[in-house]
Chains A and B, each alone.
Chain A
Amino acid sequence: MGITIKINNEEYDFEIGETILEVARRNGIYIPTLCNLEGTKPTGACRICIVELGKMSAPVASCSTPAAPGMDIQTESPRIRKARKTIIELMMISGNHNCSAIGNSKANLTDFMQEVIEYDGSGSICTAYGECELQSLAYKYMVNNRTLERIPTNYPLENIDPLIGRDFSRCILCGRCVQACTEVSVINAISHGYRGNVAKIVARGDKPLPDSECVYCGECLQVCPVGALYEKRSKYDQRVWDVTREKSTCYYCGIGCRIVVSTKNNKIIKIDGSDEGEPNRGQLCFKGRFGYDFLYNDKRLTKPMIRSGGKLKEASWEEAYNIIIDKIREISGKYGSESIGCVVSPKYSNEDLFMLKKFIEKVSGKTNIGHSEPYSKFKIEYSQIGEYEKIVLIGTDIARDNPVAANYIKQANLKGSEIIEINRKKTDLSKYAEIKLKDLSEFKPDSKINYLVIYSPEYDISSLEGKSNISLNSINSENNTAGAYMVGIANENFEDMKKKKMVFSVSSIPSNEFNTEFLVVIDQFGVESFENADLILPPSVWVENEGTYVNSQHKIYRMKKIVEPPGDTKSLRAIFGELLNLSGSGIKKSTPKYIWDEMIRKDLNLSDDIAYSKLKKGPVQIVDGFFKKISLKSSGSKNDRFRTHKLLCNHCEGLSVIAEKRINPGE
């Protein structure tokens, strides 16, 4: 017999330490919350979650009151409903919550409505309309803010930041953003400031966000229950009824954070962290959250470009293919077919990479294809980082390279895990490190303690290998590095490939680093960095295509196509499927399902357990040892790592300034 409490006259088991709210939620009983942020300490600030413990005693905040045996709780008694109504009403009148003004003709607007509509000059209703937690509570508890008069707000709109808008007039001071900043991303850029009815969320010196320590992870945006914090670029676009939401995976590093992509008219307008669980549990970094609008950059190529008369000019795919086929013939004739090579950034799907590899093998007769990414594996779930007492960071500036993993490390540190940093340089995590060492040789692990080591994959950690108390982990900089290794593209001949006579560069390497007779660049952006290219093909990328990817934990996941690719862009698998056919290979189909099930899986001997249709249910772990079949070399230079991140972010409006500061340029 366990211990029980009664909620709304039904009995429920609970464990010591559980709060009333937790017991209720576990059992599907609704209790409204505003300030509660999962995974952080309850603050009991907003009071909306109060419940009744009997007529005689005062209501208690369920988020912070531990369940105790014999409690008899009512969650929606008339008294509680009335109190909640008051809370909502108090919040509604103390800000520019103009949602109540919608649907009224101008003549019917009260002064209040008129004022709140006009105050930011947009004439538009609150950006959170339709998704605002306060609004839905007002609706649920039938609050019309008529009894009390509106209190003028204290602080003007902060509109100078390119990414995050802060509308203090809509802030209900729930403090979720502060908790997100101090307990989730642990950046500590914002805090509660002032007090009483002039309380405000402040950054350093109460200055705007750009003058603070903010790194634009945007966790605050995501947790804001109202319209106080919003993504500025899509301020009036994110009306819930206009927006389609799809789950997907981040385009940047090897963590492979799960995201929710909001689109409107076939255009991404917002990205949030998906709270479905591993790997990121809702968190994102600045790249993942804001780094999407490179897709819509003016400089994005939508047609093939061919050099003619010294200049790159638009052309048709047919023309481009013809030139490629001709050039292959010409160069093979002159130098032999192995003088054709390819470099690739592992940012494309397994299907894309596989078709590319197939094509290169076909035309060069060898696997003349390489990338610059070292082999990595992250062996545990990221949420398990906190289970280690000692976390050793070797050579990695993880807060910049893989910020979400750094979140987990900092969270673990707050809860008592010790950080040992081995790095010659100061990194963003140095200030959290209890022990700082310059060189690995100074690190003397205690055989009785379990260590979690996270190292930069270039770092030679062989001295730590084979110790049962040390878990060695690293994370890729590109989202599908493990997939590239899986389909047989490694980093061993990367430098050689750059020197081939004819190179297919499916990467962000500037064209002046090549010494070729004929350079084919396949990249979204052209002209500037690829001025020496002879031909540029515009690929469709990421959520513009369907496909499978493998993250640094070696989990295979399937991604959906969410938006239509622009102009005449084509997926890599389509381009190389067509080129293969033009060179006489007879590829039947180049759909992702066909390539995965009929080509890749057969080629690699992968079981039916990871059939394309089965991947739809969720990610599947590739068994350990699988990669041993492929020749692996864990060396590589850091020069090229994160280069694509920077290029992409620099093509994102607003993000380029922070990207300049936050992405490692490569040492």
Chain B
Amino acid sequence: MVEVKVGLGTCGISAGGYTVYDELKIEKDKNNIDFELKETGCMGMCYREVLVEINDDNGKWLYAEVDKAKVKKIVEDHLISGNPVEEWLVKIGKSESEDPFFEKQKRIVLRNCGEIDPNSIDEYVGMEGYSAIQKVINDDSPEEVIKSITDSGLRGRGGGGFPTGLKWKFTREAPGDKKYIICNADEGDPGAFMDRSVLEGDPHSVIEGMMIAAYAIGAEYGYIYVRAEYPKAIERLRTALGQATEKGYIGKGIFGSKINFDIKIKEGAGAFVCGEETALIASIEGKRGIPRVRPPFPAVKGLWGKPTNINNVETLANIPWIINNGPEAFASMGTEKSKGTKVFALAGKIAKSGLAEVPMGMTINEVVFEIGGGIKGGGKFKAVQMGGPSGGCIPASMGDLKIDYDEITKTGAIMGSGGMVVLDETTCMVDLAKFFLTFTQNESCGKCTFCRIGTKRMLEILEKITLGKGEEKDLDLLEELSYKIKESSLCGLGQTAPNPVLTTLKYYREEYEAHIRDKKCPAHSCAALIEYKVIPDKCTGCTLCARNCPVDAIEGSVKEIHWIDPEKCIKCSLCFQACKFDAIEKI
């Protein structure tokens, strides 16, 4: 039967996915057509949501940017008359040529995302789902499972890159009657949405990964700590857990063994620092999400004082694949020390923003240009920001850098959880550093002195610089504070907080200096350091800018060249955005 799938991840939903879905249903009923209408998760091409895939005898047809109005034509032309609406297609039936966005990807974690209905356990089972857990229970000892994962070379996808097998081993070997496995789904980096997409698109793969981990470490209880800001992910996880329980996949004596396993969902309550393991544990225990000193490590003394293993969503989603396909298959991908694939959330000034899973070892340029289609609006590629508030900027000049934990760390950035924000020439690096530090400041738990007061101080210095009030000595001060905060903060949040500043200082020091010495923002981004001017040759005197100005700083009557009073201008940029003739410039 013909399948019609609508991409209903958060990305699809916010672009109007449910409207399209409902419209398809109306059309289906109205025309009495026999096709199966299905929900699916994020297909990855977030930049062209809403996506609708039609799966018929002639292959897969992917429609992009579908809205209510387009549904009728697609139904009539394609589904009723069999004439696909070519101008809206990104993927054409049986044709070999794929959109380059997909062509270069290698989908392991996202193997089912956008393919199956996340609300259906049967569809997951149909894709080899829950076979890996059965396999390990029947054939492998926990030690063998740990060995497989160790051999695969899988490293923590949450950002730290700690070898997963080793982590499991520590928890397995820690003495304790009760152990816990926690799935860290508190994806908090602004600009990152990999974990959300996996949970929304393929929740069972994460559950199965947790089950295998639980078996390996000897845990009977699991928690999924997922941020409350992801209601759809929570909803689908709950559905998935309900189905798995109903089928007896989780609960007492799973798959006919003597093994018990239970999973609970804990909703985060809005604290970035809870991505840190000890803070996350405190949060599950109902306390303030304050990191605590280590040792003892969670593997020895974690949740409720028991040995606890914490893995990230993406890490866990890899597990069933590794078991099913063998550690060698996984290890065959990637670089020497970074195996498998990595999912990236491409965002920022990139043409094709969305979700892409690439084999480790691919270069940044390949990701940005071949998958991401280069810079939006044809601007010039300036840098990528990786690792969010804990990471840093890698300049375009280093675009040939391979995606590899250690290579990226060498630049001062980190692999991070997979947020890749692409920047062009209009992004001010000082402002970007300030942006991340503002974020860290807001999210600092306030426990240790360096993070609580140190980052605040750094932020103030950055604010001063972007206002054109910076002094030469500020850069040294920034650097000095950065190193001390990095060295001596209590937890990972503080220890990595200066990274955005340090990397931008390292690669774009001259931009900082321009702010300080010349009182200029080279990217024309810092409001205090720019001026808006009307280009007389282009101005048509349409008065639109004057009408948009909130402070009446623009003078000029109809059909006359306008003039911006620099004394009055508050640099809100409304005129710049309003002008239809590009007659306003920033200098």
Q: Which residues of A contact B (CB under 8 A)?
A: 42-48, 50, 58-59, 61, 64-66, 82-83, 86-87, 90-91, 93-94, 147-149, 151, 172-173, 175, 192, 194-199
> In the bound complex, what is the Cα–Cα distance between A82 and B487 (angstroms)?
12
* A residues in contact with B484, CB < 8 Å: 82-83, 86
With a cutoff of 8 Å between Cβ atoms, the chain B residues found around residue A91 in the complex are: 449, 453
Q: How long is the Cα–Cα vector from A83 to B490 in the complex, in angstroms?
A: 14
Query: Would you give the 0/1 interface string for B75-87, flagging 1 where the beta carbon is closer than 8 Å to chain A?
Result: 0000000000000
Q: A86, B481: Cβ atoms under 8 Å?
A: yes
Instruction: Say whether, besides A47-B490, A173-B446, A199 and B293 are in contact (CB < 8 Å).
Output: no
Identify A90's interface contact among B292, B445, B454, CB under 8 A.
Answer: B454
B254 CB → nearest A CB, Å: 34
Cβ–Cβ contact A196 & B293, under 8 A: no
Separation of A35 and B572 alpha carbons in the complex (Å): 45
Chain B residues with CB under 8 Å of A65's CB are 293, 295
**Assembled-state Cα–Cα distance A192/B290 (Å):** 10
B488 engages A83 (CB within 8 Å) = yes
Q: DSSP majority for the A interface?
A: loop
Chain A residue with the shortest CB-CB distance to B495? A58
Assuming A90-B453, A199-B446, what are 14 further A-B pairs, CB within 8 angstroms?
A43-B447, A44-B448, A45-B448, A58-B488, A64-B293, A86-B450, A86-B484, A90-B457, A151-B453, A151-B456, A173-B447, A192-B446, A196-B441, A196-B442
Closest 10 CB pairs of A and B: A199-B446, A64-B293, A44-B293, A90-B453, A196-B444, A197-B456, A195-B446, A196-B446, A58-B487, A94-B453
A197 and B488 contacting across the interface, CB-CB below 8 Å: no
List, in ascending order, chain B residues with CB within 8 A of A87's CB.
Answer: 449-450, 488
Q: How far is the CB of A58 from chain B (nearest CB, A)?
A: 5
Complex contact B446–A46 (CB within 8 A): no
Q: Which residues of B contact A151 (CB under 8 A)?
A: 453, 456-457, 460
Point out the residues of chain B lying under 8 angstroms from A175, CB to CB. 447
CA–CA, A253 to B281, complex, Å? 43
Is B271 an interface residue, CB under 8 A from the partner? yes
Q: Which size class do B's interface residues fall under?
A: 20 to 34
A45 contact from B444, B457, B480, B490, Cβ within 8 A: B490
Contacts of B457 in A (CB 8 A): 90, 93, 148, 151
B329 at the binding interface (Cβ < 8 Å): no
Given the contacts A43-B292, A44-B293, A192-B290, A197 and B446 also touching, CB distance less than 8 Å = yes
Query: Considering the complex, which residues of chain B in the window 338-379 have a beta carbon less than 8 Å from any beta carbon of chain A?
Result: none
Could you say which residues of chain B place their CB within 8 Å of the CB of A198?
Answer: 446
Binding site secondary structure of chain B: helix
Known contacts A44-B490, A47-B488, A196 near B445 by CB under 8 Å: yes
Which residues of chain A are near B486, meaning CB under 8 Å? 58
The chain A residue sitting closest to B481, CB to CB, is A86
Per the bound structure, the CA–CA distance linking A197 and B490 in Å amounts to: 15
The residues of A that contact B444 with a CB separation of less than 8 Å are 195-197
The yes or no answer to B56 lying at the interface (CB within 8 A) is no
A173 touches B452 (CB 8 A): yes
Q: Are A61 and B446 in contact (CB under 8 A)?
A: no
Q: Is B477 at the interface (CB under 8 A from chain A)?
A: yes
Residues in B with CB closer than 8 Å to A86 are 450, 454, 480-481, 484
Cβ of A45: which chain B residues have Cβ within 8 Å of it? 447-449, 490
Please tell me which one of the listed residues B452, B460, B480 contacts residue A196 in the complex, with CB atoms under 8 A apart.
B452
Residues of B within 8 A of A (CB): 271, 288, 290, 292-293, 295, 441-450, 452-454, 456-457, 460, 477, 480-481, 484, 486-490, 495
Q: Which residue of A lies closest to B446 (CB)?
A: A199
Report which of B293, B450, B456 forms a contact with A43, defined as CB distance below 8 A.
Answer: B293
CA gap between A175 and B445 in the complex, in Å = 13
Q: How far is the CA of A195 from the CA of B288 in the complex (A)?
A: 9
**A64 and B491 alpha carbons, distance in the complex (Å):** 13
Q: Give the distance in Å from the alpha carbon of A48 to the alpha carbon of B450 in the complex.
A: 10
Q: Are A66 and B295 in contact (CB under 8 A)?
A: yes
- Closest residue of chain A to B273 (Cβ to Cβ) is A195
Nearest CB of chain B from residue A135's CB, rounded to whole Å? 16
Which residues from A are CB-within-8-Å of B456? 94, 151, 197
Min CB distance, B492 to chain A, in Å? 12
What residues of B have a CB within 8 angstroms of the CB of A195 in the complex? Answer: 271, 288, 443-446
Which residues does chain A contribute within 8 Å of B447, judged by CB atoms? 43, 45, 173, 175, 192, 199
* A147 to B471 CA separation, bound complex (whole angstroms): 12
Chain B residue, CB-CB nearest to A87: B449
In the complex, which residue of chain A has the Cβ closest to the Cβ of B271? A195
**Residue among B271, B293, B445 with the highest chain A CB neighbour number at 10 A:** B293
Q: Is the CB of A47 within 8 A of B448?
A: yes
| Between-chain CB contacts (< 8 Å), 29 pairs | A42-B293, A44-B292, A46-B449, A64-B293, A83-B484, A83-B487, A83-B488, A86-B480, A86-B481, A87-B450, A87-B488, A90-B449, A90-B450, A91-B449, A91-B453, A94-B453, A148-B457, A151-B453, A151-B456, A172-B449, A173-B452, A192-B447, A195-B271, A196-B441, A196-B442, A196-B443, A196-B446, A198-B446, A199-B446
Residues of chain B within 8 A of A172, CB atoms compared: 449
Q: Smallest CB–CB gap between A240 and chain B, Å? A: 25
Bound CA span A508–B361, Å: 87
Say whether B452 contacts A197, CB under 8 Å. yes
- How far is A604 from B441 in the complex, measured between Cα atoms in Å? 71
- Nearest chain A residue, comparing its CB with the CB of B486: A58
CB-CB < 8 A to B293: which residues of A? 42-44, 61, 64-65
Nearest CB on B from A165, distance (A): 23
CA of A195 to CA of B274, assembled, Å: 13
Residues of B within 8 A of A148 (CB): 457, 477
Q: How long is the Cα–Cα vector from A171 to B488 in the complex, in angstroms?
A: 21
How far does the Cβ of B276 sit from chain A's closest Cβ, in whole Å? 13
- How near does chain A come to B499, taking the closest CB pair, in angstroms? 14
B289 → A minimal CB distance (Å): 9
A50–B447 CA distance with the chains assembled, in angstroms: 15
Give the nearest-CB partner of B464 in chain A. Answer: A149
Q: Which residues of B contact A48 (CB under 8 A)?
A: 449
Q: Which residues on the A side are within 8 Å of B288 (C-beta)?
A: 192, 195
Distance from A61 Cβ to chain B, minimum over Cβ atoms (Å): 7
A59→B453 contact, CB < 8 A: no
Quote the shortest CB–CB distance from A200 to chain B (angstroms).
Answer: 9
Q: State A44–B448 Cα separation when bound (angstroms).
A: 7
Measured between alpha carbons, how far is A569 from B404 in the docked complex, in Å? Answer: 85
Chain B residue at minimum C-beta to C-beta distance from A58: B487
Shortest B451–chain A CB gap in Å is 8
Looking at the assembled complex, report how far the CB atom of B299 sits from the nearest CB atom of chain A, in whole angstroms: 16
Q: How far is the CB of B242 from chain A (nearest CB, A)?
A: 34
Contact A59 B487 (CB under 8 A): yes
Distance to closest chain B CB from A366 (angstroms)? 64
Give the Cβ gap from A46 to chain B, nearest Cβ, in Å. Answer: 6
Complex Cα gap A65–B484 (Å): 19
Residues of A within 8 A of B490 (CB): 44-45, 47, 61
Report chain B residues within 8 Å CB of A66.
295
Chain A's nearest CB lies how many Å from the CB of B444?
Answer: 4
List, in ascending order, chain A residues with CB within 8 A of B453's CB: 90-91, 93-94, 151, 197
Contacts A61-B490, A90-B457, A197-B456; A47 near B442 (Cβ below 8 A): no
Contacts of A61 on B, CB cut-off 8 Å? Answer: 293, 490
